[in-house]
Homo-oligomer: A and B are copies of this chain.
């Protein structure tokens, strides 16, 4: 059985002071004489005392716990993002209670769990909160921030920080256009989230503006999905020589599909991915892709959340940061408008 840890009362007895004084010693910026402070420290050290965060949280109504909900993503930048959040929050004295969901909307239950533990704030990564959940949450005035997923249907009281995927899609489209291609296509992810739509929308916008047709194929976010979608495109009527994939993994699948048809990259087909994951830089792929500015995004997310927790923010904050194109070798060099593929 788990043993009880030593409490402030025992430290007080050993140090020959009151329990209140022990508490004060462990509360930052409270007046205690240097002498007693040392006595208490020594006693605490000797007994291995550390204040009980649960009791503290109970009385202070602040737990220093942040509830983090992340979507079940095998493909994405999960480790990177998670690590950075944990580190960043930790540096500010906060701890992370972690939950994850596989749905497009957070399980209401997860949020209730967080509420039971009286978390100081909630970060939702790559997924959404249902209106029900939001309504319930709004009663408690607990800061919520959505990271990299957004919904328009919100009169809501949460913050949003994410990548400007519309701009990203546009940039990618314009880059492919500038490099000169004949037929443009886009392989979309499986998520019905706002963010991926934005990305696709930006991409299409570039061509729509100029009256150029683009083919859209649905991948499902996986390698296989990308492979198959690319196959459909490349074996179709007007095979593209420029494909933008909404995720790196799909892009790798698309690249391998092209190669299996004896098309070289980037000579016959240019491919652009999204996310700049580890795999993108692998030698046989050397994928041109889009890097989201996670460092800044996460720093802003944490700052915003803590500012809200500490009452320094009144109204919802909404921040979009643009990423940057990482140019590798999967897009053909400029001005090479000829020599493109017109038949299978």
Residues of A within 8 A of B (CB): 1-5, 48, 50-55, 57-58, 61-63, 65, 68, 72-75, 78-80, 82-83, 86-87, 90, 95-100, 112-113, 115-118, 120, 136, 139-143, 223, 249, 252, 256, 259-260, 278-279, 281-285, 309, 311
Contacts and interface: CB of A to CB of B under 8 A. Distances in A.
B52 A58 contact: yes
A98 B86 CA distance: 8
A295 to B, nearest CB: 15
Contact of A249 (B2, B112, B256, B278): B278
Contacts of A4: 61
A73 B63 contact: no
A59 to B, nearest CB: 10
A283 B311 CA distance: 52
Contact of A118 (B54, B120, B285): B54
Given A96-B98, A256-B282, A141 B54 contact: no
B142 A74 contact: no
B62 A73 contact: no
Given A3-B139, A86-B98, A99-B86, A116 B52 contact: yes
Given A1-B311, A256-B284, A278-B279, 12 more contacts: A1-B141, A2-B61, A2-B62, A3-B139, A5-B140, A54-B54, A55-B58, A72-B83, A97-B98, A223-B281, A252-B282, A284-B285
